[in-house]
Structure 1
Amino acid sequence: MTTLPPSATASRAVSSPSPLAPPVTSATFPSKRPAMISPFVGVFRATVVSGHHLAELTGLNRGEGVTMAKPPYGVGAGRIKGAGKRQTIIAYFSMRGVSFEDRCSAAAAAGFDGIGYNGAEYLKLRSEGWTDDNFRAILDKYGVRILELEALRLLDDDASRDFEHIARAFGAERIQVIAPFAGNIDIDLQVAGKWIGDLARRTEDADVHYAIEFLPPTRIPDIATAQKVCAIAGHPNVGLCVDTWHVYRGAGAPSLADLDFARVKNVQVDDGTMKPVDPDYIPDCIHNRELLGDGEFPLVDFFRSTPPNAPISVEIIDDDLDLIPAAERADRMARALERTLARI
């Protein structure tokens, strides 16, 4: 069992280039609906395994802790109709304001293979006394896994250690990586590519994959740029997360023509209007997404333009859906995915 030293609740000293924005949590992107306030109402900074806690991480590697086994990359149980053996995940922000246990319970009941989870939220629960065994007990109870983690900001060295610990402890297969969209935006892509390549080499023994999620308001705005960073990284475990929102609200459908299927680690799917509801990209992105089939995105074309075996992460961040209980919310997302897959 892994335990936290008393210093775990101390503020994290970020060794990366300054300034970095705070970690991304449900509190960073709260719902506008007053009836659904995230329990994580404060954005916090804490360390669990970075810096002084490397001994704990090393202990896990020596077998003193428990490392969860994982099946071959990308294989799912086939509980979502039409997905076949594609992995299906309910993304972290799809369940905004939901407890860890309710998140796992809802995902299992809806048929998802696993959940996406958030590094900063994990740190908060650890600082409140949770152990990795507490997380494992809940995952085992509902038969789901943590399949993806988000969101690791490029060049944040301390956070990379935290994410590495979580991935190793729970067998997470992918870490979502984003370029900063607030603070230190003007990153050097050569430096970023080398940095993420070094991470992949550091964790290749655990087969951890890194999915660069391109975001239009950042230095990695599109597929083409993300693929350049992958080439600089020079490691097969570095690839792309292709999100419908960032495609159709960014470079558009033509950008999919140059997609290198071999680099795709997962797709994140959602729907929305082709014309922004809010002119500010980030607020629109975190308040106004729609269930698959309820918007205007050409989802069938998207699936036909992306790898047919890529893990599918359903990421629908919508204020109205936040008002719906977790189990029903997850079920709606799963059934909408099934209807979409049936059209392909």
Structure 2
Amino acid sequence: MTEHTIPRLLPTSWTSAGDATPQSPDERSPIPVRTRIEAVAAHGWQGFGLVADDLAEFLRSGTHADLAALLQDHGITHLELEFLGDWWSDGERRRRSDRVRRELLGAAEALGARTVKIAPAVGGESVDPGRFAEEFDRLASEAGEHGTRVALETLPFSSNAPTLEDGIALVTEVGNPAGGLCVDVWHVHRGGTDYSIIRDRLPAEYLFVVELDDAAAAPVGTLWEDTVHRRLLPGRGAFDVPEFINAIRATGYDGIWGVEMISEHHRSLPLAAALAQTREATLACFAEADRRFAAGSRVAG
């Protein structure tokens, strides 16, 4: 690692969405996309995240060009799109997934989005590992044709990719340069992965997305309830977020840092307060990570 500069930060879609919840029947934010982008830019963020439902809602009255202009006018340099599931399945689930797939990849190409986040299997579903790997390779190749990449987010409640180790095994086996990982501290910690795995085994070329947040030492309710209702600001819970930051930096990662706040409390806040508090807490974690790095360098020297 080298001396660090102020990090570039991206609030994931849920961080700026207000009263909207993942995997609800309608994931659309009650806050217009324009208002969200204006607030994100005003509070010093460099990126912006958007889920498929919000993208579709914007495109009902606007165009990709309109969205691109809106982002450019507000100095947003990095767009992240999400969250594609069921891309390995068949039947009606696959038909719905393929529709979202076309929308997300088409938007990524038109808007210059560097990544599209994708999900593994959840809900106890059994998935053939060979088929999953083949479909991942196919999806990554298609993403590459659109000038973007796909980032698989391992989930501790997933039936086939609950840990970061599972994700590392998949992307290294497939070996597609457009197929990598989204590494969220919540999922890493709740999945029981030691941060040393990040330093020692996570190939930098497959680290596409990094996300920060925090939570209590033990899940409050089920893992699903904990992840969508109980997350805490970075540095306000039991996760060692500065240690996670330095583990990620040790891989050579120099991309933008996502911050994913999903909680009942966060959803209840006015947008300006939510964005300001989240950014302040996140920067405090980076400051502590820098302090530890500097202290370690002095000792090593």
TM-score by length of 2: 0.79
1:203 to 143, 161, 180: 143
Show the counterpart of 2:12.
Answer: 91
Q: Deviation of residue 222 (structure 1)?
A: 0.8
Residue 101 of structure 2 corresponds to 160
Q: Counterparts of 1:137-216 in structure 2 under 5 Å?
A: 137-145=69-77, 147-153=79-85, 154-155=87-88, 156-182=97-123, 185-216=125-156
Q: Secondary structure at the match of 1:116?
A: strand
Q: How does 1:147-296 map to 2 (within 5 A)?
A: 147-153=79-85, 154-155=87-88, 156-182=97-123, 185-218=125-158, 219-253=160-194, 255-256=197-198, 257-278=200-221, 280-296=222-238
Q: Given that residues 264 and 310 in structure 1 are in contact (C-alpha distance below 8 angstroms), is that contact kept between their aligned partners in structure 2? A: no
Aligned to 2:239: 297
User: CA–CA distance in 2 between the matches of 1:325 and 1:296?
Assistant: 26
Letter in 2 for 1:92: S
Q: How does 1:112-151 map to 2 (within 5 A)?
A: 112-126=45-59, 128-145=60-77, 147-151=79-83
Q: Which amino acid aligns with 2:33?
A: F
Deviations 1:151-182 (A, max 9, x none): 11132333221111110111110111111324
CA deviation map 1:260-309 (0-9, x unaligned): 3332112110011121111x111210111111111111111111211342
Q: Secondary structure at the match of 1:320?
A: helix
**Cα distance in 2 for residues equivalent to 1:83 and 1:104:** 24
Matched with 2:293 is none
Secondary structure in 2 matching 1:296: coil
Aligned-pair distance for 1:201?
2.1
**Is the Cα contact below 8 Å between 1:90 and 1:114 reproduced in 2?**
yes
2:94 is aligned to none
SS at match of 2:181: strand
Counterparts of 2:285 and 2:218, CA distance in 1: 21
1:110 aligns with 2:52: no
The question of whether the paired residues in 1 share the 8 Å contact of 2:33 and 2:54 is answered with no
- Mapped to 2, the partners of 1:206 and 1:88 lie a distance apart of 25
Aligned to 1:13: none
Give 1:130 shift: 2.8
Please provide the CA RMSD for this pair. Answer: 2.0
Provide the C-alpha distance between the structure 2 equivalents of 1:87 and 1:171, rounded to a whole number of angstroms: 17
Aligned residue pair count: 259
Distance 1:116 1:322 in 2: 16
Provide, for residues 177-212 of structure 1, a one-character-per-residue CA deviation record: whole Å limited to 9, x for no partner.
Answer: 111324x82222322222222222223244312111
Contact 2:143–2:150 (8 Å) recurs in 1:
no
How far the C-alpha of 1:310 sits from its partner, in A, is 3.7
Contact residue 119 and residue 166 of structure 1 kept, 8 A? no
Q: Is the Cα contact below 8 Å between 2:143 and 2:178 reproduced in 1? A: no
Q: Distance in 2 between matches of 1:229 and 1:107?
A: 34
Q: Write out per-residue CA displacement over residues 187-240 of structure 1, whole angstroms, 9 at most, x where no aligned residue.
A: 223222222222222232443121110001111111111122213432112111
Amino acid across the alignment from 2:202? L
What is the DSSP-based 3-state SS (H/G/I as helix, E as strand, rest coil) of the residue aligned with 1:224? Answer: helix
Residue 115 of structure 1 aligns to a residue whose secondary structure is strand
Which of 258, 261, 267 matches 1:316?
261
Counterpart residue identity of residue 200, structure 1: A
Given residue 45 of structure 2, which amino acid in structure 1 is its aligned partner? F
Decide whether the 8 Å contact of 1:248 with 1:274 is kept in 2: no
Higher mean C-alpha deviation, range 327-336 or range 153-162? 153-162
After superposition, give the CA deviation of every residue in 1:244-267 in whole Å (9 maximum; x if it has no partner). 100111123254353233321121
Q: Any idea what the Cα deviations from partners look like across 1:306-328, whole Å, max 9, x if unmatched?
A: 13424210001121122222122
What per-residue deviation string (whole Å, max 9, x for no partner) do you get for residues 84-109 of structure 1? 4x542110011233321121112111
Instruction: Decide whether aligned partners of structure 1 residues 191 and 87 sit closer, same or farther in structure 2, where only a CA change above 3 A counts.
Output: farther
Percent of pairs with identical residues: 25
C-alpha separation in 1, matches of 2:74 and 2:272 = 13
Task: Give unmatched runs, 5+ long, in structure 2.
Answer: 19-30, 89-96, 290-301
Conserved in 2, the CA contact under 8 Å of 1:270 and 1:315? yes
Which one has a larger percent helix, Structure 1 or Structure 2? 2
Q: CA deviation at 1:132?
A: 2.1
- Report the counterpart of residue 333 of structure 1 in structure 2: 278
